Amino acid sequence: MPLSQYILIAVVKIAIALFVLLTACAYVVLAERKLIARMQNRWGPTRVGPFGFLQPLADGLKFILKEDLIPSHVYKPLYIAAPMLSLTLALTAIAVIPIGQSVTIGNANIPLQITDVNIALLIILGLTSVGVYGIALAGWASNSKYSLLGSLRASAQMISYELALGLSLIGVLIGAGSFSLREIVNSQAGWHWNLWYRGQFVAFFVYLMAAFAETNRVPFDLPEAETELVAGYHTEYSAMKFAMFFVAEYANMFTVACLATLLFLGGWDGPVFGPAWLMVVLPVLWFVLKVILFIFVYIWIRGTLPRFRYDQLMAFGWKFLLPLALANILITSLVIGLTA
Amino acid sequence: MTPVATPFFFYFLSAIALLSGLAVITQKNPVHSALALIMTLLSLAGLYLMLYAPFVAGVQIILYAGGIMVLFLFVIMLVSIEKSSREYQFNHQWHVAALATAVLGGLLIYVYVRGRGIFPNREAVLPETLNTQQVSLHLFNDYLLPFEIASLLLLVAIVGAVVMAKKRI
Amino acid sequence: MPGFHRGDYLLALPMMLLTLFALGVLLIDLLLDRSSKVINAWAAFAGLAFSAAAVHNIQRAFADQAARGEPSSPFFAFSGTLMVDRFAVFFFYLFLAAAAITILMSVRYLEVEDEHHGEYYALILFSVVGMMCMAAGNDLILLFIGLELMAVSTYILVGFLRRDRRSNEAALKYLLLGAFSSGIFAYGLSLLYGLAGSTNLQQISMALGNAMAPGKARVVPAVALVTTAAGLFFKIAAVPFHQWAPDAYEGAPTSITGFMSVAGKASAWALLLRIFLFALGPMRPLYVPILVFVAIATMTGGNLAALTQSNVKRLFAYSSIAHVGYIMLGLIAGTAFLPNPDGIRGILVYLLVYTFMNLGVFGVIASLRRRDIIGDELDDLNGLFFKAPTEAVLMLTFLLSLAGIPPLAGFYGKYFIFLALIESGHYALATLAVIYVAVSAYYYLRVANAMFMRTAGDRVPVTISPGMWAGLAITGAATVVIGIYPEPFLRMVNWSMHVAQNPTVAQLLR
């Protein structure tokens, strides 16, 4: 493939992925508001467009048109850099996530993934671990006690749960023998999903909990506990800068959901039938369905559970999830070692 | 894909690593120092990538940039930096130290210029896809004992931290 | 041959047992109340005993080898990273003995300091594991990680008196300087790896042999040598890399001062010998001048600084620096133009006797620590003879032995080294060393003078715990017996000197 064609395909893929991701983020916000409203016996947004379908557009316009306020006491360079950092890292993760096998257009065989690297999983873990800086620096640069406390909570929580998150993946890695997300999915082909086939349901549970904590979602949303900390690390942010954090949070949710799908739910594995075009579309459809299912669990839990106390959060992470993940690694490797 | 513009990226990443390394020790604000150190570590990760060691690069980012440095920043953010930012960054011996460093640096440059060609000159022939497997094979076969002893080392460090920090042990 | 085999298991068993017992001590410490912490000491002691049995097992394997009439060859394990030869077995025994005596001397001292925790014993065991890796490593990575394990355990032990500012300061200084020197050392090792393309000592030795061939640029090997040597000199506390030693020795718990001055030093010497003889062997012409310079500087610095000290721990810190200078003379004699095994033998004998006599000294100083009396000033020794005559006489024995007066053990250490120096034609160095021995007698006798000639400044009696008695008895007996009847110990050293399996070392020693 000539270089120009390669670059063209890459740019097109990046554009599509970003557009889909950002739109999906916007509409997940709407879905969340609607669903939570239904759980609480309300209507949710209904006024903008039919069934409130234009609400995300209105929100986006509002963020763009609002005055971009920078408080006078902040440390400006980092204050401005922090949300950009958060958003950039959150969006970068999508680059290595595959959503299906590959399509052939003309003579080019294009994998449904922006770039297929063999350490994709490490890259995603690295990006999430570096993503802490956006939040930590936002809190520090804001020069406000609520922001600082929120960001300290967030970074402590993310570091603590990153361990459990990383360890929960090892069982899967041992089974697949690769860091490449594509190969991990291929190793689960034919309904051999990690969730049950290699007995990784414990790992899935640990991953689920740690992922909720990593994305600062209910019941782990202490960093922005509005009753204690106003709004946590983004207290001092407004307009587009706030929107960047907001989008970053939802983009992270998508990353986590995609990862769960790829690692535990078999990726795009599912019943495939019909004519050739359907054979291509169906796997992507299964993948999207699984992601949406995962996102729904997110929202469902937000509508159901109260928030943890800080010490409960730490104890749960260090004294329960971490040993559980370690035990899972031990047992998985024993089983694989003895049956190999 | 074959690598593109390797010399450029090598010098670029090395320059970032060196400049941000300098910034670590010259910046008054410890937060800036920490951020500069993160830059150094990230550019080192880039250099590892150029050596066809993606696993090492990934681990470098996850552990150093994403784990250890976050804790550094965490501690710096908790302590007051008012005082340290007013302090003079160099003590009165810095002229001597700079001179010694320059002499030593000059010596090292001289040595490497003179000694060029003495290191075995090998291209990285390892296929990039196998880097992770190679690392683990080395760790769990050739270097099994050092690997296990390293785990003891970490345990000792943990015990030491507890002994030093905990009021009642 | 990958995997884990029976041979690997047997050769690593001493370390594995120590690790297991150390972990056990950490666990049972949680179950013990404050009054029964002595059980930790017993458990650690048992660990040392089991480990010694495992070492004995390896020793028997060497005996079998000799009985079969095979030439003595080392046992390799873990893909060649671990090389247990007789040399390593000798050091294993030495470390275990030093750790055991230290534990005997620690119990009462820690109770008085009110810091009697299981972690102390566990850390001692862990540091012995590190030392074993340093003595038996055949791979740069294992050597370095062993060194770090030993060093990190020691940093913590130095700062173990957590409420004592001197201890905190000592630990911090030691940690910072130690980390710095480890960095330099690692840089040197990385250059060696770059030159050889391997971390294996034999491979490095071969690569250096090529690099040192006439007509080749020697600058990179020279830098590798200088940085590696600087790191090692720091670890053995040779001048000009010795500044950490007096502070660390003074601030550390006295029992740990003794431990690090003998076991820590012996392990650093084992590492130094491994690297200088096994890996850097072909670079002898380059490193002997450095050794001569450092040895003279070390003897001068250590002895002269010791003259004016008023703190006993500091005094013995400088004295131990001076002893490093003497030991280095052995290395010079062993590696200079005429290869001479007597030099290396002298080093081993010296380390053996130094272990006992110096531990004895610090045992006596540790017993002076009583409630409200720190007891590490020279004046605290005043009139010790009238308060605890036996202890004062033992102390005198150790002092005379350190000064090298026959018929005590210390004499033989110096005897072999000076003999080797004269045999290899270093008359000037030998003369200088003898002059410094005479100088050192002055400060040792200053201590004796305080014990016997002055009257006590306080009336608090010196009580000696049974453990301390045992420790002092062992060290005192060893000091006297090695002096009077050295044959079995020399045989042991000679036995361990059959390291002639490595061609470069064989050429060096025979």
Contact B119 C220 (CB under 8 A): yes
- Chain B positions in Cβ-Cβ contact with residue C182 (cut-off 8 Å): none
Dihedral class, residue C161 (left if φ above 0, else alpha if ψ from -120 to 50, else beta): beta
Contact (Cβ atoms closer than 8 angstroms) between residue B159 and residue C118: no
- Chain B positions in Cβ-Cβ contact with residue A78 (cut-off 8 Å): 31
Residue C216 lies in a domain: no
**Cβ-based interface (< 8 Å): residues of B facing A:** 31, 35, 38, 54-55, 58-59, 61-62, 65-67, 70-71, 73-74, 77-78, 128-129, 131-132
- Chain B positions in Cβ-Cβ contact with residue A132 (cut-off 8 Å): 66, 70
Contact C162 B163 (CB under 8 A): yes
Residue A98 lies in a domain: yes
Whole-number percent of chain C with pLDDT over 70: 95
Exposure string (b/e) for A125-143, b if CB count within 10 Å is 16 or more?
bbbbbbbbbbbbbbbbbbe
Candidates B73, B128, B129; nearest CB to A136: B73
* Cα–Cα–Cα angle for C50, C53, C54, rounded to 5 degrees: 90
Contact B55 A132 (CB under 8 A): no
Residue A90 lies in a domain: yes
Residue A320 lies in a domain: yes
Return d(Cα C366, Cα C375) in angstroms, integer: 8
Q: Show the domain range for A125.
A: 71-339
* Tokens 């480990």 -> residue: C51
Query: Could you tell me the pLDDT band of residue C78, with boundaries at 50, 70 and 90?
Result: confident
| DSSP code, position A111 | E
Residue C387 lies in a domain: yes
Residue C44 lies in a domain: no
- Chain C positions in Cβ-Cβ contact with residue B150 (cut-off 8 Å): 145
**Which 3 state secondary structure label does DSSP give A179?**
coil
pLDDT score of A124 more than 80: yes
pLDDT score of C501 more than 50: no
pLDDT score of C461 more than 60: yes
CA dihedral C279, C285, C291, C296 (to 10 degrees): 170
Contact C123 B156 (CB under 8 A): yes
Residue C213 lies in a domain: no
The model's pLDDT over A255-282, given as tens digits with 9 standing for 90+, comes to: 889 988 888 888 788 787 878 777 778 8
pLDDT score of B40 more than 90: yes
C-alpha count within 13 angstroms, C-beta hemisphere, residue B17: 14
Candidates A125, A126, A136; nearest CB to B70: A136
Tell me whether C230 touches chain B (CB under 8 Å). Answer: no
Per-residue confidence (pLDDT) for residue C510, from 0 to 100: 42
Average pLDDT, chain C: 87
Tell me whether C139 touches chain B (CB under 8 Å). Answer: yes
CA dihedral C132, C138, C139, C140 (to 10 degrees): 70
A126 or B82, which is more confident? A126
* For range C390-394, the mean pLDDT: 90
Contact A129 B65 (CB under 8 A): yes
Q: Of A132, A182, A150, A165, which is closest to residue A256 (Cα–Cα)?
A: A165
* Chain A interface, best mutation among B74, B75, B78, by max A CB count within 10 A: B74
**Which 3 state secondary structure label does DSSP give B95?**
helix
* Nearest residue in C to B141, CA atom: C2
Contact A126 B78 (CB under 8 A): no
**Which 3 state secondary structure label does DSSP give A97?**
coil
* Tokens 């294992």 -> residue: C142
CB pairs under 8 A between A and B: 69
The model's pLDDT over B8-30, given as tens digits with 9 standing for 90+, comes to: 888 999 999 999 998 988 887 88
Candidates B38, B58, B71; nearest CB to A122: B58
Contact A126 B62 (CB under 8 A): yes
Contact (Cβ atoms closer than 8 angstroms) between residue A264 and residue A195: yes
Domains identified in chain C, total number: 1
Contact B119 C195 (CB under 8 A): yes
Contact B164 C149 (CB under 8 A): no
Per-residue confidence (pLDDT) for residue C509, from 0 to 100: 47
Q: Of C42, C39, C83, which is closest to residue C470 (Cα–Cα)?
A: C42
The minimum CA-CA distance between C482 and chain B, rounded to whole Å, is: 35
Tell me whether A179 touches chain B (CB under 8 Å). Answer: yes
pLDDT score of C109 more than 60: yes
Per-residue confidence (pLDDT) for residue C154, from 0 to 100: 93
Return d(Cα B30, Cα B86) in angstroms, integer: 11
Contact B70 A129 (CB under 8 A): yes
Contact (Cβ atoms closer than 8 angstroms) between residue C274 and residue C143: yes
Domains identified in chain A, total number: 1
Query: Could you tell me the pLDDT band of residue C189, with boundaries at 50, 70 and 90?
Result: very high
Overall size of chain A counted in residues: 340
* Nearest residue in A to B42, CA atom: A130
Query: Distance from CA of residue B89 to its chain's centroid?
Result: 22
Candidates C81, C152, C195; nearest CB to B143: C81
C-alpha count within 13 angstroms, C-beta hemisphere, residue C219: 13
Tell me whether C169 touches chain B (CB under 8 Å). Answer: no
Return d(Cα A3, Cα A9) in angstroms, integer: 10
The minimum CA-CA distance between A302 and chain B, rounded to whole Å, is: 28
C75-77/C82-84 β-pairing: antiparallel
In C218-311, alpha helices (H): 219-236, 244-251, 254-259, 265-273, 284-307
The minimum CA-CA distance between B75 and chain A, rounded to whole Å, is: 10
Return d(Cα A148, Cα A234) in angstroms, integer: 10
The model's pLDDT over A46-74, given as tens digits with 9 standing for 90+, comes to: 888 788 888 888 888 888 888 888 888 88
Candidates A119, A136, A166; nearest CB to B132: A119
The model's pLDDT over A157-197, given as tens digits with 9 standing for 90+, comes to: 888 888 888 888 888 888 887 888 888 888 887 777 877 77
**Which 3 state secondary structure label does DSSP give B2?**
coil
The minimum CA-CA distance between C487 and chain B, rounded to whole Å, is: 37
Return d(Cα C299, Cα C293) in angstroms, integer: 10
* For range C187-204, the mean pLDDT: 88
Contact A122 B59 (CB under 8 A): yes
pLDDT score of B84 more than 70: no
**Which 3 state secondary structure label does DSSP give C499?**
coil
Query: Distance from CA of residue B71 to its chain's centroid?
Result: 16
* Nearest residue in C to B119, CA atom: C195
Tell me whether A125 touches chain B (CB under 8 Å). Answer: yes
Residues of chain C numbered 8-67 and touching chain B (CB < 8 Å): 12, 15, 19, 26
Those residues whose C-beta lies under 8 Å from the C-beta of residue C155, and which sit 6 or more positions away, are: B160, C171, C174, C175, C178
- Chain B positions in Cβ-Cβ contact with residue C211 (cut-off 8 Å): 118
Q: Of A253, A221, A250, which is closest to residue A150 (Cα–Cα)?
A: A221
Cβ count near C205 (within 10 Å): 22
* For range A17-40, the mean pLDDT: 88
Residue C152 lies in a domain: no
Beta bridge partners of C75: C84
Residue C476 lies in a domain: yes
- Chain B positions in Cβ-Cβ contact with residue C240 (cut-off 8 Å): none
pLDDT score of B42 more than 80: yes
Residue A63 lies in a domain: no
Peptide bond into C407 cis (omega under 30): yes
Contact B118 C19 (CB under 8 A): no
Return d(Cα A88, Cα A93) in angstroms, integer: 9
**Which 3 state secondary structure label does DSSP give A104?**
strand
Contact C152 B112 (CB under 8 A): no
Contact (Cβ atoms closer than 8 angstroms) between residue C283 and residue C221: yes
The model's pLDDT over B105-114, given as tens digits with 9 standing for 90+, comes to: 888 888 777 7
Per-residue confidence (pLDDT) for residue C505, from 0 to 100: 52
Residues of chain A numbered 156-175 and touching chain B (CB < 8 Å): 156, 159, 162, 166
Residue A79 lies in a domain: yes
Per-residue confidence (pLDDT) for residue C355, from 0 to 100: 93
Contact (Cβ atoms closer than 8 angstroms) between residue C154 and residue C145: no
Contact (Cβ atoms closer than 8 angstroms) between residue C395 and residue C450: no
Return d(Cα B63, Cα B71) in angstroms, integer: 11
Return d(Cα A138, Cα A74) in angstroms, integer: 10
Least confident segment among A28-32, A111-115, C26-30, C43-47: A111-115
Residue C30 lies in a domain: no
Those residues whose C-beta lies under 8 Å from the C-beta of residue C248, and which sit 6 or more positions away, are: C158, C170, C171, C173, C174, C260, C317
Per-residue confidence (pLDDT) for residue C500, from 0 to 100: 46
Tell me whether C77 touches chain B (CB under 8 Å). Answer: yes
* Nearest residue in B to C190, CA atom: B119
ipTM of the complex: 0.90
Residue C428 lies in a domain: yes
* For range A73-101, the mean pLDDT: 86
Beta bridge partners of A108: A105
Q: Three-state secondary structure along chain A? A: CCHHHHHHHHHHHHHHHHHHHHHHHHHHHHHHHHHHHHHCCCCCCCCCCHHHCCHHHHHHHHHHHCCCCCCCCCCHHHHHHHHHHHHHHHHHHHHHCCCCCEEEECCEEEECCCCCCCCHHHHHHHHHHHHHHHHHHHHHHHCCHHHHHHHHHHHHHHHHHHHHHHHHHHHHHHHHCCCCHHHHHHCCCCCCCCCCCCCCHHHHHHHHHHHHHHCCCCCCCHHHCHHHHCCHHHCCCCHHHHHHHHHHHHHHHHHHHHHHHHHHCCCCCCCCCCCHHHHHHHHHHHHHHHHHHHHHHHHHHHHHCCCCCHHHHHHHHHHHHHHHHHHHHHHHHHHHHHHC
* Tokens 């990285």 -> residue: B124
The minimum CA-CA distance between B90 and chain C, rounded to whole Å, is: 18
Candidates C12, C122, C211; nearest CB to B159: C122
Candidates A126, A152, A162; nearest CB to B74: A152
**Which 3 state secondary structure label does DSSP give A98?**
coil
* Tokens 């090695």 -> residue: C482
pLDDT score of B155 more than 90: yes
Q: Three-state secondary structure along B73-89? A: HHHHHHCCCHHHHHCCC
C-alpha count within 13 angstroms, C-beta hemisphere, residue A336: 18
* For range C13-38, the mean pLDDT: 91
Return d(Cα A72, Cα C439) in angstroms, integer: 70
Residue A7 lies in a domain: no
> Over the Cα atoms of chain B, what is R_g?
20
Return d(Cα A42, Cα C262) in angstroms, integer: 78
* Tokens 């380390």 -> residue: C351
Those residues whose C-beta lies under 8 Å from the C-beta of residue C397, and which sit 6 or more positions away, are: C360, C408, C476, C479, C480
First to last CA, chain A: 40
Q: Show the domain range for C440.
A: 288-510
